[in-house]
Amino acid sequence: MSIKIPKNITEVEHTYYYKTDIVKICKLLSLPTSGTKAELNSYITAYLNGTPATQIKTKRKQKLRPSLTYEEINLDTKLIGSGFSFNNEARRWFANYFGVKNFSFKKEMAIIKRKAEAEDDTKITVRDLIYHIEHWKQEEIESVAEEQTYQWNNFVRDFFEDPATKKYQDRLKVAAILWKLVRESSNNKIYSHGLLRQYEKEIHSYKK
């Protein structure tokens, strides 16, 4: 199936793309093709907003040096530009710091580092990283574009797995409408069968 270049931002927002599809669109538009799904979406959005492709650069910085060893990591190590990465050396360092035998990287840690990369925050350190994960707030997750993309992906998956949604035409459109309503509410950002009843008025016109 060939991938069509979206005509406007609305089409991007109302169409579910796999990351491989987004990469293909970026190639067709001569945009950067490396980065997270959210970052690639931002390139396409910028292009559709009128920014020339030549002015849209990848948000991620290439590593300036090899990954740090266990001995090279400390609380003042910069997350960006130092060679720090979430590898076995860093895992060993965090295990020693927290006094545990086995240490697993938390999802929040990756989110904080990616956000720093996207914003080119060269001041944030391992000390800051530890502080943020120890004082983590759910709203911080929801403010990160990639996490919102992740939530949308799960929402669409669960929507299509609900047999009751087969009674609607243009199911992706219906999913997008429900997602917008849920996203703007104080409810959990997940799909549930009850949404079909709760927002029946808003999606009634899409019934077959």
Separation between Cα atoms, residue 2 and residue 187, nearest integer Å? 37
Q: What is the identity of the amino acid at 144?
A: V
C-beta neighbour count of 168 within 10 angstroms: 19
What local confidence, expressed as pLDDT, does residue 129 receive? 93
- Among 2-11, 88-97, 131-140, 148-157, the least confident range: 131-140
Residue 180 tokens, joined: 């917008």
Residue with tokens 């987004």: 22
What local confidence, expressed as pLDDT, does residue 170 receive? 84
Most confident among 9-13, 187-191, 197-201 (mean pLDDT): 197-201
Question: Concatenated DSSP letters for 84-150?
Answer: --SSHHHHHHHHHHHT-SS----HHHHHHHHHHHHTT--S-BHHHHHHHHHT--HHHHHTSHHHHHH
C-beta neighbour count of 142 within 10 angstroms: 12
Residue with tokens 């090279």: 72
CB 26 within 8 A of CB 40: yes
What's the pLDDT tens digit per position in 75-102? 999 998 888 999 999 999 999 999 999 9
In sequence order, what are the residues at sequence separation of 6 or more whose Cβ sits closer than 8 angstroms to the Cβ of residue 171?
159, 160, 165
What local confidence, expressed as pLDDT, does residue 143 receive? 53
CA torsion 7-11-17-21 (nearest 10°) is: 0
What local confidence, expressed as pLDDT, does residue 178 receive? 93
CB 94 within 8 A of CB 79: no
CA angle 45, 47, 56 (to 5 degrees): 105
Based on its alpha-carbon atoms, the radius of gyration of the chain, rounded to whole angstroms, reads 20
What's the pLDDT tens digit per position in 58-71? 875 554 568 899 99
Question: Concatenated DSSP letters for 169-185?
Answer: SSHHHHHHHHHHHHHTS
